[in-house]
A and B are shown apart, each in its own frame.
Chain A
Amino acid sequence: MTPPPLAFTLEAFTNVGFWTGVLATAGIYAVVTLGLQLNVGFTGIVNFGQAGFMAVGGYSMAILVLEAGLSFWLALPLAVLITMAFGVLIGLPSLRLRGDYFAIVTLAMAEVVRLVAQNARGVTGGNKGLYCEFEGVNQACFDDSWRSVSDWMLGVIENLWPDPEPLLPLLIVIWVTVAIGVVALTYLQGTPWGRVLRAIREDEDATRALGKNTLLYKLQSLAISAVLGALAGFFLALFLATIHPDDYEPIVTFFAFGVLVLGGLANYKGVVVGAIVLWALLEGTRFVELPISEERTAALRFAIVGAVLIGLMAFRPQGLFGKRDEMVLGD
């Protein structure tokens, strides 16, 4: 039976589980894009490698748990450190390059990470991805520790609100992270450190002439962004309950740029709004049952992100909430 054209499905609209998933995805993108905002909006370095940092974070965590047998809670900070070190390693030689070269280097870096994940089958599981290790009948999964915490949180929530969504604990953790990120980064922006970053964005040579080691500041900016990427990598791994090379394609970075320009540059709160608006828009296409195949609906989502990018850059480059006088795209 073919659905009538342009029918609205109200079941989907009122489906709490569906919206929890959308909000979780939006939250993960908000975390990634906060890093982009720090880099692109406040430091003027165009980082196209966020998907690579997510992959390094997610894979390090899962490998430390599954292969090295570390506890999940020890693996998290270690994976953050590894990703940070990786960011510094990438930034050290490449941050001296011109902006467009740096963009291409970081994009190539992210692809190298993904291809290594795809091909180093012994460690990363290759195209099968990583989830659980089986030893006889016992299985150990990288998210076992998280799931016991999640179950405990669900138990607490159940006392207040019966029958909660199973995804709710993760959703809470993601959005608490987003909130902390926005507050901390906004605070940092007001410090002398944050002002130096902005000075670098406006005129790096002048900042260097004032005696600031601009490379060091840019490295710090990139390292913080890598950490946010690693956190998003953890959340994505817990959300999907698996780690697979295809989840870290450069498309993720491009979508994050869509979120960034939608919310507006040089504005951390804009990132939050941009993430929610973009994902509501993308997932909202599901309510409208167009008389087209699944594949064409998927194509439509790409077209939407493409149109958002083209339209915003052409007619409103400061995004929804960017400040025109602080726009960094026009020069």
Chain B
Amino acid sequence: MKGFFDARPALAAFGVLGLIAAALVAAEGLHEVAQAALNGLTLGTIYALGAVGLTLVYGILRLVNFAHGDFLAFGAYIAYLVNVTWGLPLAAAIVGAMAATALLGLASERLMWGPMRSKGAGWLQLLLMTIGLAFVIRSAIQWFWGSEIRTLDVNVTDSVSFLGLRIGQTELMVVVVGIAVLVAVGLVVRFSLLGKRMRALSDNLALAETAGIDTRQVILLTWLFAGALAGLAGVLSGALTNLRPELGFELLLPIFAAVILGGIGNPFGALSAGLVLGVVIELSTLVVEPRWKLTFGFLALIIALVIRPQGIFGQARTV
């Protein structure tokens, strides 16, 4: 069993999850489980979108970006500006949020991470700077929008039914937009030249540079990519629930969980782990009270890190 787990960790993990799901179906009924899984998919989409960018930045630059959650919150508030303050449709808000957050990522690279890398800064030094950046972004949000809870102009009452399952119109929008973008991201990372370069840098930056890849350009594009996805995740999260300055930090740990479960630097791992994590967290509400679900998610992170620090999709290497 141990041998199998080491050889095919992802398969083994999905096997275990499948068994748990089967047990839940037996105990709670198919309908309940399917409804919870559907809710989980909505949540997981947001985690997955946040995790892809974070894992690429982490893998390529060894930058543990504690400000990534606040990138999401920043995107959500930009969407509020476009959608509520200016009264434009949500689609425009999504585009605006993605563009603004991409620029934020790019600016942070040009002003902070690039210069610090050329100084030869260590990982802890950079990590503390990301915490500083997180504080600055959060205080800027609080400065301009205050700490009251705000909501985007979305339809929260209508819902759609199919196969006896109900999903709110906004949730449906989140899942459709989210999954479509995730598939597109997966295709870009897998097949495009840029995606191949990103993965090459993530594997070994020095080697990629020797192979003639313009690493500076790929790094900038990675920040654009990570920022835009974070912005999108932020808007979707804001549409699903609401906006508050702490939003970013609340999302940060589950996103880190997805990054680590997927194996750091592995975008496909982060995608699947984000979705799986969302589903697992929502399924847990069938067993424990909903107020415990985040605790459950973080415990899962700790246990996963301790048992298999290279992630369920990563190969065993020095970690």
Contact = CB atoms under 8 A, between A and B. Distances in A.
B299 A295 contact: no
Given A101-B309, A107-B253, A112 B295 contact: yes
10 contacts: A93-B306, A100-B123, A108-B253, A108-B301, A111-B294, A300-B143, A303-B139, A306-B133, A306-B136, A314-B116
Given A108-B301, A111-B298, A119-B295, A310 B64 contact: no
A254 interface: yes
Interface residues of B, number: 46
Interface string A36-53: 000010000010000000
A241 interface: no
Interface of B: 62, 64, 112, 115-116, 120-129, 131-136, 138-140, 142-143, 146-147, 249, 253, 256-257, 260, 289, 291-292, 294-295, 298-299, 301-302, 305-306, 309, 319
A116 interface: yes
Contact of B140 (A254, A303, A313): A303
Interface string A288-325: 00000001101111110111111101100100000000
Contacts of B292: 115, 119
Contacts, number: 134
Contacts of B126: 313
B309 A98 contact: yes
Contacts of B133: 306, 310
Given A46-B124, A97-B309, A306-B135, A103 B64 contact: yes
B88 to A, nearest CB: 27
Interface SS, A side: helix
A48 to B, nearest CB: 9
A103 B253 CA distance: 12
Nearest to A308: B132
B135, B138, B253 interface centre (most CB from chain A within 10 Å)? B135
Contacts of A116: 295
Contacts of A313: 116, 121, 125-126, 128-129, 132
A250 interface: yes
Given A107-B253, A317-B121, A101 B260 contact: yes
Label chain B's interface by main secondary structure. helix
B229 to A, nearest CB: 20
A310 B136 contact: yes
B135 A94 contact: no
Contacts of B138: 302
3 A-B pairs with the lowest CB-CB distances in the bound complex, closest first: A306-B135, A309-B132, A310-B132
A105 B129 contact: no
A309 B125 contact: no
Nearest to A114: B295
A250 B143 CA distance: 21
Contacts of A75: none
Given A116-B295, A330-B125, A105 B139 contact: no
Nearest to B124: A329
B112 A314 contact: yes
A317 B122 CA distance: 10
Contacts of B294: 111, 115
A119 B299 contact: no
A101 B299 CA distance: 14
Given A115-B294, A250-B249, A261-B128, A310 B306 contact: no
Given A310-B112, A313-B129, A254 B135 contact: yes
Given A302-B142, A313-B121, A331-B122, A100 B295 contact: no
Given A119-B292, A302-B142, A329-B124, A314 B129 contact: yes
A98 B319 contact: yes
Contacts of A108: 253, 256-257, 298, 301-302
A315 to B, nearest CB: 10
Contacts of A303: 135-136, 139-140, 143
